[in-house]
Amino acid sequence: MSTASLALSNTAIQRTPAHTLAIYAKEAKYEFLKNLRLRVYTASVISFPLMFYVLFGLVLNAKERIAGMGVPTYLIATYGTFGVMGASLFGTASGLASDRGLGWLQVKRASPMPPFAYFAAKVILSLIFSTIVVSLLLVLGIGFGGVRMPVLDMARLMGTLMAGSLPFSAMGLAIGYFAGPNSAPAAINLIYLPLSFCSGLWVPYIFLPKLVQKIALALPPYHLSQLALGVVGAGRHEPAITHWEVLFGFTLICLGVARIGFQRDQGKLYG
Amino acid sequence: MIPNLAKIQTPRYESQRERTLVASLENASKNYGSLRALRNVNFSLSAGEVLALLGPNGAGKTTAVKLFLGLIEPDSGKTQVFGGNPRNPENRMRTGAMLQVGKVPETLRVGEHIDLFSTYYANPMPLNEVLVAAGLQKLRDRKFGDLSGGERQRTLFALAICGNPDLLFLDEPSVGLDVEARRILWKEIRRLVDRGKTVLLTTHYLQEAEALADHIAVINKGEIIAEGTPAAIKALASGKRIRCITMLNETTLLQIPGVTDVRQDREAVEIHVREAETVIRTLLELDPSLSGLEITTAGLEEAFLTLTQENETSTRYH
């Protein structure tokens, strides 16, 4: 039987690295276009952090000071964290849950697409939208909130938040593998919004109730926001390495959960 | 040429084909919990042929396709594609698939979807050729979400063929297509086969299987219940159908030698027989007032019904 099969021209088709790279690039490009045209995505991911920032940072408390600095500067770090978290969770989880549950991922898996390209595209998408949100926050802060920051600090803030997108992309993949196609957005909000509040992204940490302050220490967004606040000079002076360790460990846990979901899907009707 | 597979298949349906094996299921079984989707299924695809997997909804057609695509693993038995595991990247590179999908990203345009899938393959067809083949020339810049059901099907077909694959799996390709679109699809499938491609299509349209396939496997409740050329499948249920208005009751009719089935059809009865002539002679003797006599040949549609019903009876009583 194998001889008969070999009778077919069985020339192994190998991809060149350039071809593989082209696939990753195109997958990311269309993932970006797809979401850019999705109003639900752009509205929840970009508009919400900006609206909150304008309201609480520029309209209501612009003249107040907190942790030795103007509120508009402080809130760029916390709403930046909030925005990055939203872009990353929605960028990965909702698309994955719907692709999985409604059969599209199966069409992709049946094709010769390198499986990792699919996930990479979602992570890249999250990074791009995270960059957009943080950039817009900076533009608003500098333009209307009197925020003054050395360019180097801006770059460091951006870099910190970009890196912080990765744990939440991993978390999004984990949610995407366990949420249903229609319940995913609700599931994300159910996690995203309480996490944001308890981590001090809306109300600064020092104003949180004592109990919530204790809870915050266990929450990944708290640690990312402290790193971002550290860049602008308003951190709580915990060692940065601790925050990075927490985020790194959290990423590994999420990837582990996502992997369980990935393997669970292999034997199912859909996946 | 491939003795072990020839043996596996029911010999009386096996035609004498020159076979170069492209893909096969060998004793494949698949359960979803307590639901038995496939039971010891054997069949194979030869190079350059169109095989139609014909069966009602829930028969196991999609499960078979998913096995061939490596999307699921059989609980027992084996799936082979190009002599290896269907999951091999080289095999995926030579395979195209059209599956039933609940939701396709709606904000991407037809041309963009095709562009992306073409990138996955080593030697894709030019975009314009794909658009023409799938009848999508005018829809290139239309977002998927703005397409009609038939246009969506055509786009999925385009994604299946854009990589210029040697082997195509089409799961219910003509669902939701109007007559014109179905004609384009059939023409395109024939053109692919002319170019040496191998096609497995699943369908519950008997006409479609008869029109396209070199080989038909009839599947019901997870089992292949018949396999052969369309002519062979037809011959399985060869026989005639007599329709007439008669005073004779069902019991009497069933006692006439050569009568296999009797059904009431409004004022008339439909009598299924092996040979029409002898039965008609007896009928006219027994009922001189018999009227409205019609004799027709059982089509493939009939064959299909007969086959699945026989199978149900046999599983019930054994």
pLDDT in tens, B174-232: 888 888 888 888 999 999 999 889 999 998 877 788 889 999 998 888 888 888 888 77
* Residue A71: HSE in the Cβ half-sphere, 13 Å Cα cutoff: 19
A28: closest chain B residue by CA: B116
CB atoms within 10 A of CB A135: 13
pLDDT tier, A5 (very low <50, low <70, confident <90, very high otherwise): very low
Q: Residue A33: list chain B partners with CB under 8 A.
A: 107-108, 112
Tell me whether A16 touches chain B (CB under 8 Å): no
Report the gap between the CA of A21 and the closest CA in chain B (Å): 11
Residues whose CB is less than 8 angstroms from the CB of residue B155 and which lie 6 or more positions away in sequence, other chains included: B104, B110, B113, B114, B134, B136, B139, B144, B147
- Mutation for B interface: A10, A13, A24, A38, most B CBs within 10 A: A13
- Does the pLDDT value for residue B317 go beyond 80? no
- Does the pLDDT value for residue A177 go beyond 50? yes
Mean pLDDT calculated for residue range B15-29: 78
- Does the pLDDT value for residue A21 go beyond 80? yes
pLDDT tier, A226 (very low <50, low <70, confident <90, very high otherwise): very high
What whole-number distance in Å separates Cα of residue B308 and Cα of residue B313?
9
Q: Cβ separation of A8 and B100 shorter than 8 Å?
A: no
Q: Which of A8, A34, A269 sits opposite B82 (nearest CB)?
A: A8
Q: Which of B21, B72, B105 sits opposite A4 (nearest CB)?
A: B21
Q: Residue A114: list chain B partners with CB under 8 A.
A: 89
Q: Residue A112: list chain B partners with CB under 8 A.
A: 89, 92-93, 95, 120-121, 163
pLDDT tier, A8 (very low <50, low <70, confident <90, very high otherwise): very low
Tell me whether A17 touches chain B (CB under 8 Å): no
Q: Cβ separation of B120 and A10 shorter than 8 Å?
A: no
Q: Which of A4, A104, A268 sits opposite B101 (nearest CB)?
A: A104
Report the gap between the CA of A1 and the closest CA in chain B (Å): 6
- Does the pLDDT value for residue B109 go beyond 90? yes
Please give the class, per CATH, of domain B5-234.
alpha beta
| Averaged confidence pLDDT in chain B | 83
Report the gap between the CA of A144 and the closest CA in chain B (Å): 35
**pLDDT: which is higher, B171 or A238:** B171
pLDDT in tens, A232-246: 888 777 888 899 999
**pLDDT: which is higher, A264 or B11:** A264
Tell me whether A12 touches chain B (CB under 8 Å): yes
Q: Residue A23: list chain B partners with CB under 8 A.
A: 119-120
Tell me whether A33 touches chain B (CB under 8 Å): yes
- Does the pLDDT value for residue A188 go beyond 70? yes
Q: Cβ separation of B108 and A30 shorter than 8 Å?
A: yes
pLDDT in tens, A23-36: 999 999 999 999 99
| Residue B241: predicted pLDDT | 82
Provide the phi-psi class of A109: left if phi over 0, else alpha when psi is between -120 and 50, else beta.
alpha
Mean pLDDT calculated for residue range A142-169: 92
Contact B273, B260 (CB under 8 A): yes
Tell me whether A66 touches chain B (CB under 8 Å): no
- Does the pLDDT value for residue B102 go beyond 80? yes
pLDDT tier, A223 (very low <50, low <70, confident <90, very high otherwise): very high
- Does the pLDDT value for residue B60 go beyond 50? yes
Contact A65, A153 (CB under 8 A): no
Calculate the alpha carbon distances from B111 to A34, A255, B127, B156, B305 in Å. 13, 34, 8, 12, 41
pLDDT tier, B6 (very low <50, low <70, confident <90, very high otherwise): very low
Mean pLDDT calculated for residue range A50-68: 84
Q: Which of residues 100-119 of A touch B (CB under 8 A)?
A: 101-104, 106-107, 109-114
Q: Residue B171: list chain A partners with CB under 8 A.
A: none
| Residue B73: predicted pLDDT | 87
Q: Cβ separation of B166 and A266 shorter than 8 Å?
A: no
Q: Cβ separation of A38 and B107 shorter than 8 Å?
A: yes
| Residue B16: predicted pLDDT | 46
Mean pLDDT calculated for residue range A70-91: 92
- Does the pLDDT value for residue A9 go beyond 80? no
pLDDT in tens, B114-144: 999 999 999 999 999 999 999 899 999 999 9
Contact B304, B236 (CB under 8 A): no
Highest mean pLDDT: which of A199-208, A248-257, B58-67?
Answer: A248-257
Mean pLDDT calculated for residue range A200-211: 88
Q: Residue A27: list chain B partners with CB under 8 A.
A: 116
- Does the pLDDT value for residue A194 go beyond 90? yes
B91: closest chain A residue by CA: A112
pLDDT in tens, A98-145: 998 888 999 999 999 998 999 999 999 999 999 999 999 999 999 988
Segments making up each domain of chain B, as ranges: 5-234, 240-298
Residue of B208, B206, B303, B202 lying closest to B260 (CA atoms): B303
pLDDT in tens, B151-162: 999 999 999 999
Tell me whether A30 touches chain B (CB under 8 Å): yes
Alpha helices (runs of H) in B166-289, residue ranges in sequence order: 179-194, 206-212, 230-236, 250-255, 276-286
**What CATH architecture does domain B240-298 belong to?**
2-Layer Sandwich (3.30)
What whole-number distance in Å separates Cα of residue A148 and Cα of residue B302?
82
- How deeply is B87 buried, as exposed, middle or buried, from its count of CB atoms within 10 A (0-12, 13-18, 19+)? middle
Q: Cβ separation of B112 and A4 shorter than 8 Å?
A: no
Contact B273, B242 (CB under 8 A): yes
Segments making up each domain of chain A, as ranges: 2-8+17-270
